Amino acid sequence: MRTQVAIIGGGPSGLLLSQLLHRKGIDSIVLERKTKDYVLGRIRAGILETGFVDLMREAGVANRMDAECIIHDGTVISYGDTLFGVDFKDLTGSHVVVYGQTEVTRDLYEAREAAGGKIVFETEAVTIHDADSDAPHVTYMVDGTEHRIDCDFVAGCDGFHGVSRQTIPLTVRREYEKLYPFGWLGILSQTPPVHHELIYSGSDRGFALCSMRNENLSRYYIQCSLSDTPEDWTDAAFWTELKRRIPEEYADRLVTGPSIEKSIAPLRSFVTEPMRWGRLFLCGDAAHIVPPTGAKGLNTAASDIHYLYNGLLQYYAEGDSEGIDRYSEKALTRIWKAERFSWATTNLLHRFPDQNAFDLKIQQADVDFLRENREAQSVFAQNYVGLPY
The question of whether 72 is a catalytic residue gets the answer yes
The active-site residue out of 220, 309, 315, 384 is 384
The active-site residue out of 99, 200, 250, 309 is 200
The active-site residue out of 12, 22, 72, 291 is 72
For residues 159 and 284, what is the distance between their CA atoms, to the nearest angstrom?
7
Give the 3-state secondary structure of the chain: CECCEEEECCCHHHHHHHHHHHCCCCCEEEECCCCHHHHHHCCCCCEECHHHHHHHHHCCCCHHHHHHCEEECEEEEEECCEEEEEEHHHHHCCCEEECCHHHHHHHHHHHHHHCCCEEECCCEEEEEECCCCCCCEEEEEECCEEEEEECCEEEECCCCCCHHHHHCCCCCCEEEEEEEEEEEEEEEECCCCCCCCEEEEEECCEEEEEEEEECCEEEEEEEECCCCCHHHCCHHHHHHHHHHHCCHHHHCCCCCCCEEEEEEEEEEEEEEECCEECCEEECHHHCEECCCCCCCHHHHHHHHHHHHHHHHHHHHHHCCCHHHHCHHHHHHHHHHHHHHHHHHHHHHHCCCCCCCHHHHHHHHHHHHHHHHCHHHHHHHHHHHHCCCC
The question of whether 38 is a catalytic residue gets the answer no
The question of whether 388 is a catalytic residue gets the answer no
The active-site residue out of 296, 306, 330, 350 is 296
The question of whether 79 is a catalytic residue gets the answer no
The active-site residue out of 292, 306, 309, 315 is 292
The question of whether 230 is a catalytic residue gets the answer no
- Positions marked active-site: 72, 200, 292, 296, 384
